[in-house]
Structure 1
């Protein structure tokens, strides 16, 4: 699927999405990463992913050696998800995963309904699947997070040139890289230069406040020297490893 694909007819069954969790209503939260860090947000987390990153903190969306998919995912209709999101005054809806663009054809009517209801939409994606042209509209942004070698995933699976080009050409994407050491900044630079990616955000890897502080201090000077953005993981600092925050 490419960024210029026409929208194909969608059956009733396709309007049901495989969901891991939705949160941000009963317990308010905010976007913890990237360009909208600190902005109040609702989250729709889709189940399933096409990558298997070693340090992934949402393995319950895809790692069925550790988690039971029957317990970790449900099918919900677009109408149900719209009713849930539009009942909240929070303006930003983050669609994340897993990898949400695996289900992007069924996401089109969801996004259209959210925009019609006055919401703004941000996708969190690994950048391996190009967005359908129906998603490249005002009110939609993409936080694209290409994976580095530290993910443990083969390069030909985690770096897809055609998809990265589609995001870069869209003018609706920022590019966020998860890293834990200064030496990996050269790897980020090579990917950025090869694919013409901008703006660039660097995010320290970590699932505890102590680990994030340590990695942040390790990386800060080197990231600043490259004039890249530096993003925290505010949800980890604020809520530790609590799911649904």
Structure 2
């Protein structure tokens, strides 16, 4: 895969053409952790981009896309690459999580951001729904993708949320894990079908829920069946630790 060197930085990367639509940035003023997946528990900074191409009923960040309930003028701002890099490099925390919404809707504008974060010594994780084929410039050394395909039980039409070409591109990259939200053992059968059909590995399962009680209950429903499949299991640490407070 391609790697970036300091000489690759575009000197114009902070101009108006490289403004990103951002919902929120957090982790500097109030330190926090990556709450899910392989890096669960690692200190992390978050750049949450606004806008999504799905409308999942169980989404917990609807303020990034549901304009029937939220005002986009209040919930998003445009920030330059230079501004975001300055914010991230003001902290010694190494891991920067770029999430959403769906961050890859803005992936052309993310290229200079990722380049500069890597040059600054950061490592980057994308949280993506796996519906868009990633640009090669984003699937490079120092970047990891947590791909979370949404299945029907999450309140979404799989005709929109399961995109084989995108899933297979992530699988071929060698830089992705596949993190599915599940609420029942029946969901695991659907996850297995998708994993087998598109050669998705490794598989991580995360219990659905936005409260400590819901996550605990769903964990107990799923744990034995996930273990029997030899898959990975992750909790939602930010909900357990901070009660799902926004910006933590």
Please give the TM-score of this superposition, normalised by the length of structure 2.
0.94
SS in 1 for 2:110: helix
For structure 2, the 5+ residue unaligned runs are 1-11
> Does 1:104 find its partner at 2:107?
yes
Aligned residue-pair number: 237
- Report if aligned partners of 1:21, 1:244 keep a CA contact under 8 Å in 2: yes
Aligned to 2:217, which of 214, 218, 223? 214
Distance 1:202 1:61 in 2: 24
Counterpart in the other structure of 1:4:
none
> Does 1:196 find its partner at 2:199?
yes
Please give the root-mean-square deviation of Cα atoms over the aligned residues, in Å: 1.2
- Residue 152 of structure 1 and its aligned partner are, at CA, apart by 2.4
- Residue 69 of structure 1 and its aligned partner are, at CA, apart by 0.5
- Residue 154 of structure 1 and its aligned partner are, at CA, apart by 1.6
SS in 2 for 1:183: helix
For structure 1, the 5+ residue unaligned runs are 1-8
When residues 97 and 32 of structure 1 are mapped into structure 2, their CA distance, relative to the original with a 3 A threshold, is same
- Render the CA deviation track for 1:24-73: whole Å, top value 9, x for unaligned: 00100000000100000000000000000110000000001111100000
Distance 1:46 1:229 in 2: 27
> Does 1:177 find its partner at 2:180?
yes
- Residue 136 of structure 1 and its aligned partner are, at CA, apart by 1.3
Aligned to 1:157, which of 152, 155, 160? 160
Distance 2:110 2:17 in 1: 9
Aligned to 2:39, which of 36, 52, 69? 36
Counterpart in the other structure of 2:137:
134
> Does 1:16 find its partner at 2:19?
yes
Distance 1:93 1:174 in 2: 17
- Report if aligned partners of 1:10, 1:105 keep a CA contact under 8 Å in 2: no
- Residue 11 of structure 1 and its aligned partner are, at CA, apart by 9.8
Deviating runs (4+, > 6 A) in structure 1?
Answer: none
Distance 2:21 2:111 in 1: 14
Please give the TM-score of this superposition, normalised by the length of structure 1.
0.95
- Residue 10 of structure 1 and its aligned partner are, at CA, apart by 8.0
Counterpart in the other structure of 2:127:
124
